[in-house]
A and B are shown apart, each in its own frame.
Chain A
Amino acid sequence: MDNPLRSEAAMFRLVVLVGLAAVPVVALGLLAGATWALVAIVLELAAAVFLVRRGRGRAQPPPPTCSSR
Chain B
Amino acid sequence: MESASVPVGQTAADHHHGPPEAHQSSRIDRATLGILIFIVSEAMLFGAFFASYFFLRVVSNEGSWPPEGFELPVAIAGVNTAILVSSSFTIHWALESIRKGNRRGLQLGLMATWLLGAAFLFIQLNEYIHIGFSARDGAFGSIFYGLTGLHGAHVFIGLLLLTFANLRAFKGHFGPEAKSHLGVELPGIYWHFVDVMWIVVFTVVYIL
Contacts and interface: CB of A to CB of B under 8 A. Distances in A.
Chain A partners chain B: yes
A22 B92 contact: no
B35 interface: yes
Nearest to A16: B88
Contact of B207 (A6, A9, A37): A37
Given A19-B199, A30-B74, A37-B207, A8 B188 contact: yes
A26 B189 contact: no
Contacts of A7: 32, 185, 189
Which of under 10, 10 to 19, 20 to 34, or 35 or more describes the interface residues of B?
20 to 34
A23 B133 CA distance: 28
A29 B199 contact: no
A15 B207 contact: no
A8 B189 contact: yes
B149 to A, nearest CB: 21
- Of A5, A22, A30, most buried by chain B (CB within 10 Å of CB) is A5
Contacts of A5: 32, 35-36, 39-40, 189, 193
B74 to A, nearest CB: 7
A19 B87 CA distance: 13
A11 B207 contact: no
The 8 closest A-B pairs by CB, nearest first: A29-B207, A8-B188, A11-B192, A5-B36, A12-B92, A15-B88, A34-B208, A15-B192
9 contacts: A5-B35, A5-B36, A8-B184, A15-B196, A25-B207, A26-B202, A26-B203, A29-B208, A37-B207
